[in-house]
Structures are given as structure tokens and as C-alpha cells.
Structure 1
Amino acid sequence: MSAPSPDRTAPSLLRRLVTAAATALAALAATLAVPAPAHAAGGAFYGVYASVYGTRDYHGYVPSSYRPGTPMPLLVALHGCTENDIGFDLLSGWSRVAEQRGFIVVFPDQSNLVNPATCWNWYLETNQHRGWGEPAIIAGITNRIRSQYTVDSRRVYTTGVSAGGVMTNIMAVAYPDIFAATSVMAGCEYDCDVLQLQSAQESGRKALAEMGSRARPVPAIVFQGTADLVVPPSTAYRIAGQWAVVDGIDATADTVQTGQVPGGRSYTHLTYRDTAGTALIEQYMIDGAGHAYPGGCACSLYGDPSGPDASNLSWDFFLAHPKP
């Protein structure tokens, strides 16, 4: 995971081949693409995005409050392993929240042809950098929706759970010019070190290097179950530590509060602020929760309705953090 960025190591011949292939496939991509119609009222949409890096389906939802010409926020939501875009929509309730709170949401779908478990391939070097692999595909889907609807460019956000949580963290690092803020659920820090031999500070430095001239403070909200057997709970602190380096703030939480979902789980809420007192990082450690979506639908194997409502909490956080 610590190999140099492809931008620094890819041979010039490979770059020429990729460029030539991209040019040759541009027309094919346009032919394969099934764009979503520009709804004037609420409804679901579906599409296919194709590029030199592959083809992915996606679906999304436009709320009934949408009016062409009036900018509306956009959320890009990434599912976890053994899920798909439709299942993640049911699990998270994001389309329902989009209708209630007035934003567009799109769900890119991983192909089981490139990963039999439908995990995003975050662990591959080419999928950790801007303009390459799956990040390029997800960014392409995002920009397609931005071109088809009137999207508020200062309020484009990304969220994901598990493998989707790792990838959403990568997207916020690789494309800080697109995504205003991110929500990571049971994910991992940038340049994810599953053995935790690399410090969160080193991860943050690598994130800054990836951002390059686009580097800026990116607000992040993190959710993690304390009984997660897939993702070590300490990973949440590593994600917060990574973003603390990027955001230029202390990696020690300024406030630590406890909370309780009525009839459900207790949790610890940590907040990390800048010198002006702005909460740039929030972290929820959910007592006794496993590898599940906090507040997610009981209709899904991965839903934990007894946890805090991660979808609405994320949207509250997003609303407080438009892109400067």
C-alpha cells in the first residue's frame, strides 16, 4: 500500500497508451452511456457510465423539490462488500432522506466482474489516486450527474460504508476540488494500513501529497462500532488523525460527549475543532455495534436500527460544511 503514486512511476509509454486508448474509447463510452433524464420533479434515475477504466451502473434519486435552474446539493453514496447500489439505498435510506431534506443522491454500483464480492478495490495502488481506476470512474459518474442537473458546486458530498467507506475517504483526498466533505462508516484511513504499522500522521502526509495544489481542509464525520470484528475500532481514530493532519488541527478531540439512542445504543461523540472553533471532524464510537450501518434498516443484514441515525447525522454535518 505504500508504493509511490502512479503519477510518479508510470512509464511515459504507459501514459501514451492510456491516452490513446481513452481517445479511441471516447465515442464508445458515449454510445454505451445511458444518461439519466433531467427530471423536473422527484423520481429515480438509472444509468451506465463507461470509460477507459471500465463500465459501472448507477442509480439515484431526485427529490420532488428539485427545480431546473435552482442549485441543489448532491451526495455520492458508495456501498460495501456483498452489497449493490439498490441494497445500499434500502439499507441507508438515502433516497428517503434526499426527498425529505432536498438533495440529489447517486449510488455507483461496483461490478462483480472486477470484484466477485462487489467490494470497491481500494487496496490496489491504481485505485488510490486521482485520474486512475475506480476513483476516476466514480468522479466521472459524479460529473455526469452535475452536468444533467442543476447542482450546487459548493455542496457535493461523498459517503460510504466498509469498502465503500475506504473508497469514499480516497475520493475526498483525490478530489477535494469536487467534494466539500465526507462521511466514513467503518472505513479506513488513506493508504489504509490494515496492520496499523503506519501512523495516522504519515497517512495524513500522504493524503496531502495526493491532494497536491488542490490541498485544503476537508471536513469529515466518522462512524465506528466498538464491537466491529471486521474493522478494528481504533481505525476510526486513525481516520480522524489523518484528517487532522490534512485540516491542520490537533489530533486530540476538543470535546468528548456521551449519548444514547432512545431504546437503542449508547455512543461517544468526539469533536475536533480548528482555532476558530469550527468542528472540522466529528467521530461517533457506537457501543457494542458490529460491522453495520448505524441506524440502518432492519431489512438488511447490515442494518443496525438501534444505532444513531448516521444518514441524517451525516447530512446535518454536510449542511454545516459547504466547500469554500
Structure 2
Amino acid sequence: MKMSTVSKFKSRISLLLCPFLLISGLISGCNREKIAPKPVLPALNDVSLVSENRYSCTFDSIKHDFIVDLPDNAENAPLVLMLHGYGHNAESFRTSVQFEKTANPAGYAVVYVTGASDPEDRTSSLGWNAGAGTGKNRDTEFLTALAKYLQKEYSLDSSRTYAAGFSNGAFMTHRLAAEAGDTFSAVVSVAGIMTDSVWETRKSGNKVSFFQITGAKDDVVPKNSDGTAKHSKYPAVEDVMAYWAESNGAELTVETEVSSQAVLKKYENKDKNIQVWDLLVKNGGHEWPKEKFSGFNTNALILEFFEAQK
């Protein structure tokens, strides 16, 4: 059977277009490979009221508790997640620091959160997987999911979600800043370190404000100033703070004494409204500084830092 003139024409057009279609398909395929789908963040499960403002939930089959302290008007309020130290819980941390008494009147929602025990920790103590050792708990994802749940549940301002922690909870704030800066725009580390795994995988650029409070006599936090960093697998706090400042494009603007016992350095990226604060307490140990010894109010200073994010 002879091919018609129209069929011959269509065949020639197809042959001419084949290379272009092939190239287009390859480019299209490459683009599809480059744009990987965003991982779906697991949600909180079994959120239930325990008593008053105390709640329980599960995430990744792990149980957590949290305490919600809201301001009089919670709509569009900023949120601060409070992370306890190793072996403690939300209730004991709240009793100890009482940050909500300072933050609630200023319009902040404050939520104290209980961590979980690590399956490989023989003590079964509650804590946070800040990147030290071989911990398996997905705490970065959990705290991100909790923040998003609270934002939606109480109509909070998603652009002003913060975290503050002490000791192991402060270690966790370093990890949140490194891995969840798109959720937590500012964090506070009181007596905290950056673990080796977070340091080794750090990014060159960040957009998260950071406030570190360190006691000069803290034997947990490695420092270049006293030589303890030489014997630690974790980076010196001075190097960590230099990293937070540099990666955020922040430059030193202020160095001042907040008391006779404490010197505060403020770094700022004015274009992006990013703050990096570094406070050294001269005679401070591994503690949440108390005003009668340090000469300054820790909670008020933390709130001042958060207020600087506006």
C-alpha cells in the first residue's frame, strides 16, 4: 500500500521533531529529578488534656508532656518552647525558671516541653537528642511538629517561634537553629554546647538569631579561654559563637557590662534583623544564672533578646 502525501508529510515532521522532543524530555526528566518532594512531617498524635494547662501527646510512638502558659490575648502572639536539662521534665523546669511570669505579661505564649529517654541510655533519664552519641529520637522533627500544632491551635504568630533551653535542652537549641531555622527564628542556649555531629554538618549560611549564656567556670561547656576545649570532642563555645555570627552575616555592634559579673557582646545583621548575643558570666557555673549572684535578671535579658527580633 502506498503512503499518502499527507502521511508522508506527517512522517517527515515527526522525524524532524524527534531530536527536539528527545532533548525536551531529557531536560524535563532532569528537572523532575532535581526537584525532590518535601518530606512529610509526622504529626502529633493523641494530644489530650491531663489537667488545667497540662497536656500529653505522642510523636513517632514516643510520649511527651507539655505545659501551656498563654498571655491574656494569644492571637498572633509569639511562641517560646522551653527545653529542660537532662534528667528533668517540663514541670520541674517551669518551677525552676518561671519564665512565663516574665513573658506572659509581655504577650508571649510559653510552652514547657518534656523530652524522652533514649533507648540506648541505661539510666532512662529524660532528655533531648541534640546530636551527641547515637540517639535515635527524632526531637528536631518532634519540636517542629509541636510548634506547628501550637501555632494552629492557638492562632500564634508563625514568624515568631522561638526556643530556649538549659544544659541538654540548650544543646538541643543549637541543633534546632542548625536544622530547623525555617521554623525557629531565634533560640537561646543557657549553659549549652554544640555537639560534634551538628558542628561537622553545619551550613555556611543561616538566618536565625542566637543567644548564648555561658558561665566562665562552667565545666561542661568547652572553652578556649580556659583550655578545656583542648580535651573535648565538642567545639569551643568561642568558635561556635564566631560561627553563628559569621554564618548570619552579623557584625559586632556592642560590647557592654550588664552587671559587674557579666559581659555581653551583641552582633547584628541589620539588613536581615538578625541578632547574635554572647554573654559571659565571670563567676558563673553550669546553671541558669540567678540575679543575686550574677547581678542581672536572666529571664528579663532573654525577653529583651526576643523583643529585639521585631
SS at match of 1:154: coil
Query: Which residue among 131, 135, 141 is the counterpart of 1:123?
Result: 131
Q: Which amino acid aligns with 2:309?
A: H
In structure 2, the residue matched to 1:197 is: none
SS at match of 2:239: helix
TM-score, with structure 2 as normaliser: 0.72
SS at match of 1:167: helix
In structure 1, the residue matched to 2:239 is: 238
Q: Which amino acid aligns with 2:282?
A: D
In structure 1, the residue matched to 2:114 is: 109
2:73 is the counterpart of 1:66: yes
Q: Residues 259 and 245 of structure 1: is their aligned pair in 2 closer, same or farther, counting only changes over 3 Å?
A: closer
Q: Displacement, 1:305?
A: 5.5
Residues 183-228 of structure 1 deviation map (CA, whole Å, 9 limit, x = unaligned): 11111126468xxxxxxxxx3x83327xxxxx64211111000011
Q: How does 1:47-86 map to 2 (within 5 A)?
A: 47-52=55-60, 54-63=62-71, 65-67=72-74, 70-86=75-91
Counterpart-to-counterpart distance in 1, 2:270 and 2:118: 47
In structure 2, the residue matched to 1:89 is: 94
Q: Displacement, 1:148?
A: 0.9
TM-score, with structure 1 as normaliser: 0.69
In structure 2, the residue matched to 1:314 is: 302
Q: Gaps (5+ residues) in structure 2?
A: 1-38, 225-235
Residues 14-47 of structure 1 deviation map (CA, whole Å, 9 limit, x = unaligned): xxxx99xx99xx7xx63x321599xxxxxx6222
Which structure would you say has the larger Rg?
A: 2
8 Å Cα contact 1:78-1:160 kept in structure 2 = yes
Counterpart-to-counterpart distance in 2, 1:269 and 1:226: 13
In structure 2, the residue matched to 1:271 is: 266
Question: Sequence identity, in percent?
Answer: 21
Q: Displacement, 1:166?
A: 0.8
2:211 is the counterpart of 1:206: no
Q: Gaps (5+ residues) in structure 1?
A: 1-17, 38-43, 194-202, 210-214, 297-303
Deviates more, 1:154-163 or 1:306-315: 306-315
Query: Which residue among 161, 164, 169 is the counterpart of 2:166?
Result: 161
Q: Displacement, 1:289?
A: 0.8
* Superposition CA RMSD, Å: 3.2
Q: Displacement, 1:255?
A: 3.5
Counterpart-to-counterpart distance in 2, 1:46 and 1:151: 18
Q: Residues 55 and 231 of structure 1: is their aligned pair in 2 closer, same or farther, counting only changes over 3 Å?
A: same
The answer to which structure, 1 or 2, has the higher relative contact order (CA under 8 A, 6+ apart) is 1
SS at match of 1:207: coil
Q: Displacement, 1:268?
A: 1.2
Counterpart-to-counterpart distance in 2, 1:150 and 1:294: 33
Q: Which amino acid aligns with 1:160?
A: G
Q: Number of paired residues?
A: 258
